[in-house]
Amino acid sequence: MSGEQRELFETAPAPWEVDDAVEQLVATVVFPTGPAQPFDYAVPERLRDMLRVGMRVRVPLGRGDRVAQGYCVRLEPRQSSRRLKEISKLVDRRHLLTPAMLRLTEWMAEHYLCPWGQVLEAVVPAGVRMDAGTRGTQFLSVNRDALQQIDRSKLPAKQAIVIEHLAAATSPLTAQQLASACRCTLAPINALRKKGLIAARTERVRTHQAEEAAVERDSGHELNLDQQQALDTILAALRGRRYETLLLHGVTGSGKTEVYIRAIEEVVSYGRQAIVLVPEISLTPQTRQRFRARFDHVAVLHSHLTDSERHRHWERIATGEVQVVVGARSAIFAPTPHLGLIVVDEEHESSFKQDSAPRYHARDVAIERARAEAVPLVLGSATPSLESWQRGRQGVYRLLELPRRVLDRPLPAVGTIDLREERAEKGSRGAIGRRMYVAMQHALEAGGQVILFLNRRGFATHIQCPSCGEVVNCPHCEIALTHHRHGEMALCHYCDFQMPAPLNCPQCGASGIRYSGSGTQRLEAEVHQRFPNYPLIRMDTDAMQRPGSHEAALARFRSGEVRILLGTQMIAKGLDFPNVTLVGVINADTSLHLPDFRASERTFQLLAQVAGRTGRGEQGGRVLIQTVSPEHPAIQAAIDHDCDKFAAYELPMREALCYPPFGSMIRLIVRGVQEPVVAAFTGQVVDELRRLLAESKARVLGPAPAPFAKLRGKYRYHILLQDSDDTALRTAVRQVLEDLRAPDDVEWVTDVDPLSML
Ligand code: ADP
Ligand code: ZN
C-alpha cells in the first residue's frame, strides 16, 4: 500500500447510539480508494428492492459526508441500536459481480494483502464500470390510461396517425423512428408528450456492435494415444463435477491445445462455459483462429480491445452466450454464469503475474476459482514451473504426460556453441559467432527460415570472466553479484553483501572481467550487414508498439517473404512455423545470471520454448545456443528437453535455501526520491518485522537496494521475507502496514509470492 493512499485515510465518526434496537437492512460497502476497511450503511426503503450485492453505490463518507462510491459486498437484515448513515444512490442497474466472484476477490485481498476495494476495481474492467459504448436513448410508448380519458377523434390528424402507429408498434421506437415512420416532424410527437398521451423511458443501448469476421470451421485431428489418455482423465474429472488440478506436461508440439479443445467441447455440451488463459503474446492469430474454428461463440480478450469492446464481451459472457473465453491474465475474472472448466496454457509464464496492485498470479487465482466453483483446472506446459512440477510429483496435482510430438515428429537437435572458444578465435567480434554464421548461411541457402533469439531485457551488469565464464556470486545467496559503477563495488541485491568489484577473475585469475551485454537493435544491424540479401524483421517491445504490428510481422514471416526473424522472448513461445529450420540463441547467459533465484529456471524454460519453434515441418530443424557456460545444468537439461533433469538439479538448492516451492515469500519494496529517507525507513520496517517474527523460523533479508536501484527518479530498497508457509509472514506484514507510517513521498509495495526480484 502506498504512502499516498494512507494520506487519504479518513476515520468516519462513530455512529451515534439510538435508544431502541431496530431491524434494518444493512449494506457493507468497500471503497476502491480511501479507507481500506469496509463500512456499514442502512438501505433506505426506496432502494430495498433494487439493491443487490455486487453493485456500486454512492454513500456519504467521513465527517464532511463527502460523496464516495463503493461496492456493496454484503446485505443483511440486522437488529441494531446504532443509527447508520444511509446509501444515497445506486450506480449500477445490475450487479457487476456475482457472489462467487465477490468471494474470490475477498480471498485475493486477504492473500495478496491488498484492500478489497482495490481488488474489485481491478477485477471489473474500466469499460464495464464506465458503461462504455452505450448511450442513454429514449423509447416512447402510448399512455393507454390517459388515452382512454380523451376523445381520440378530436386529436389533430398528424397526432392521431402518430398515436395509432405507436400503439400498433411491435418493438420500442425512438422519437426519430416514429417521426419517420409517420412521415411527420417531431412536433406532433412532442405535443402528444405534453398532453401526457405518450410516455418516454430511457434505456442504455449499444452505440455499435462489432462483429468478428467468420472463421472457416475445422473439425480437428484424431487424437493419438497419449492425447486420448490425457483427455480421458480430464473428462473423468469433468464428469465428477468436482475441483481438481491436472498438470498437462507435454513437450512443444505434442498437441496440448487439441486436448484442451476436446475437453471444452464436452463442457460446452453441458451448456457450461470454459475459460482459457494464455500469455498475452500467444494471442497470435493462430491461437485465436483455432478456437474460433471450433466453437460458435468465442470471446477473445486481449490488451488492444477498446473499453467499449471489452464491455460488450463482458456482457456477452455474463449472459452465458459465450462458450469459450480466451484471454490473458485478467480473463480469469470473466463473469461466466456456469463455469465448467479452466485451462491455463503455458502455466509457467511470468506474464500471469500482475506487476501492479493487486499483484495476483492468474494461475493461483484460477486454482481458487476452480475450487470455489467445483470445476477442474488444467495447467498446461512443456516446461512447468517448479511450483507446479513439485505439486505434480507429490500428487497434489494429477500429472498427465505427452512425452512425444504429434505425428512422430522428432524434437529438434539442440547444440551449443562455446563462446569462450569463439572469442579466442580471430575475427569474430559481433554477436554472431563463426559457427552460428555458417549454420545460418546453410539454412537460408536451403530455403529455410531462421529465428534468432536474444534476451535483450537481461540485466547486463553481472560480472563475468570472458575466458572461463565464471560469474561472481554472493557467498550467502547463490545469486549473481551486480556491478555498481559508483564506487566500483559488487553488491548482492538480496542480502546486501558487498565487496570491491574484482579486477581479475576469482576463479582463473584472468584479467579483463566484463560487465556488459548487447541488445536486439545492435543485433539487427549486424544481421543486416552480414546477410544483406535476406529480408529480416525485428520483434521486441520497442519495435512492436502499435496495435496489430505484432500480427502483421508474423504474417510476413509466415508468408515466407521475411526470412529472418529476430527478437526477445516475444518470439519464444506459441509460434508454429513449419519452415523454420534453424533457431539461434545469441547469448544464453544474459538470463542465466540475473540476480534472481529463478534465473536458471527461466533460462531452462526459455531455451526449451525457443527450441520448440523449430522442427515442426517435414524438413526438421535444429537449435544452436551460444553460451560461455555450455556445461551449466540448465542449458544441459534444455539440450535434452528434460524437465526431470532440470528439476533434479534445481530443487535441492531451492530446498536448502527455503526458496519456493519449499517456502513462501513476501517482498516489500520501498521507494522514494531521497535515498537516505528510503534507506532509513526500510531499516525501520526491517527492525519491526524482525521483532514481530522473532519467535518464528522466518528469514528477514535486507534491507538492500533492489537490483533496479533507481527507477523513474526513485530509489528502491527491498526486503525479502521467507518462511515455510506464509501465515506468520502475512500476519507480520499486516501488522507493520498498520503500525508504521511511511514518511512523505515514500511509498511501499507489498508483493506476495513475488516473481520478479528486480
Ligand atoms: P502444443 O500446444 O502442445 O504445442 P498443438 O496443440 O499446438 O501443440 O499441436 C501442434 C500441431 O499439431 C498443431 O498444428 C495441431 O493442429 C497438430 N496436431 C495436434 N494434434 C494432432 C494429432 N493428433 N494428429 C495430427 N496433428 C495434430
Ligand atoms: Zn547475498
How is the chain split among helix, strand and coil, in percent rounded to 5? 35, 25, 40
Q: In what order do the strands lie in the sheet with 482-484?
A: 482-484, 489-491, 498-500
293 lines ligand 1 (CB under 6 A): no
Ligand 1 atom with the smallest distance to the CA of 345 is 2
Q: Which of 18-22, 44-48, 153-157, 626-630 has the lowest mean pLDDT?
A: 18-22
The closest ligand to the CA of 294 turns out to be 1
Report how far residue 389's alpha carbon sits from residue 395's, in angstroms, rounded to the nearest whole number.
Answer: 10
Contact by Cβ (8 Å): 27, 74: yes
Confidence of residue 592 (pLDDT cuts 50, 70, 90): confident
d(CA 722, ligand 2 centre) in Å:
14
407 lines ligand 1 (CB under 6 A): yes
Confidence (pLDDT) at 419: 86
The closest ligand to the CA of 491 turns out to be 2
Cell numbers placing 412: 529438434
d(CA 477, ligand 2 centre) in Å:
4
Tens of pLDDT, residue by residue over 168-211, are 887 778 888 888 888 888 889 889 889 888 888 877 766 656 56
223 lines ligand 1 (CB under 6 A): yes
Report how far residue 420's alpha carbon sits from residue 309's, in angstroms, rounded to the nearest whole number.
Answer: 52
Residue 81's Cβ-count burial label (10 Å; 0-12, 13-18, 19+) is exposed
* Nearest residue by C-alpha to atom 17 in ligand 1: 255
Task: List all residues 6 or more positions away from 57 whose beta carbon is below 8 Å from its beta carbon.
Answer: 27, 29, 41, 51, 69, 70, 71, 72, 87, 88, 89, 90, 91
Give backbone dihedrals phi and psi of 355, rounded to 5 degrees, phi first. Answer: -105, 20
The closest ligand to the CA of 380 turns out to be 1
Q: Taking all residues of the chain, what is their mean pLDDT, rounded to a whole number?
A: 86
Give the DSSP H or E segment for 460: none
Confidence (pLDDT) at 519: 62
Instruction: Give me Rg for the CA atoms of the chain.
Output: 31
Confidence (pLDDT) at 2: 37
Reduced to 3 states (helix: H, G, I; strand: E, B; else coil), residue 709 is: strand
Task: List all residues 6 or more positions away from 713 whose beta carbon is below 8 Å from its beta carbon.
Answer: 673
* Residue from 222, 229, 248, 257 to probe ligand 1 pocket by mutation (most atoms less than 8 Å from CB): 257
Ligand 1 atom with the smallest distance to the CA of 259 is 6
Across 298-397, the runs of DSSP E, i.e. the strands, are 298-301, 324-327, 339-345, 376-381
**Is the pLDDT score of 116 beyond 80?**
yes
For residues 512-519, give the mean pLDDT: 61
d(CA 491, ligand 2 centre) in Å:
8
Give backbone dihedrals phi and psi of 273, rounded to 5 degrees, phi first. Answer: -115, 160
Ligand 1 atom with the smallest distance to the CA of 224 is 23
Give backbone dihedrals phi and psi of 584, rounded to 5 degrees, phi first. Answer: -110, 130
Instruction: Quote the distance between the C-alpha of residue 608 and its chain's center.
Output: 22
The closest ligand to the CA of 252 turns out to be 1
Could you say which DSSP state residue 742 is in?
Answer: P
Tens of pLDDT, residue by residue over 283-340, are 566 788 889 999 999 999 887 788 888 999 999 999 999 999 999 999 999 999 999 9
Confidence (pLDDT) at 460: 44
Q: Among 319, 336, 264, 316, which Cα is nearest to 295's?
A: 264
d(CA 444, ligand 1 centre) in Å:
26
Q: Among 436, 443, 434, 409, which Cα is nearest to 582's?
A: 443
Report how far residue 599's alpha carbon sits from residue 635's, in angstroms, rounded to the nearest whole number.
Answer: 12
Report how far residue 33's alpha carbon sits from residue 54's, in angstroms, rounded to the nearest whole number.
Answer: 17
For residues 572-577, give the mean pLDDT: 67
Phi-psi region of 271 (alpha: psi -120 to 50; beta: other; left: phi over 0): left
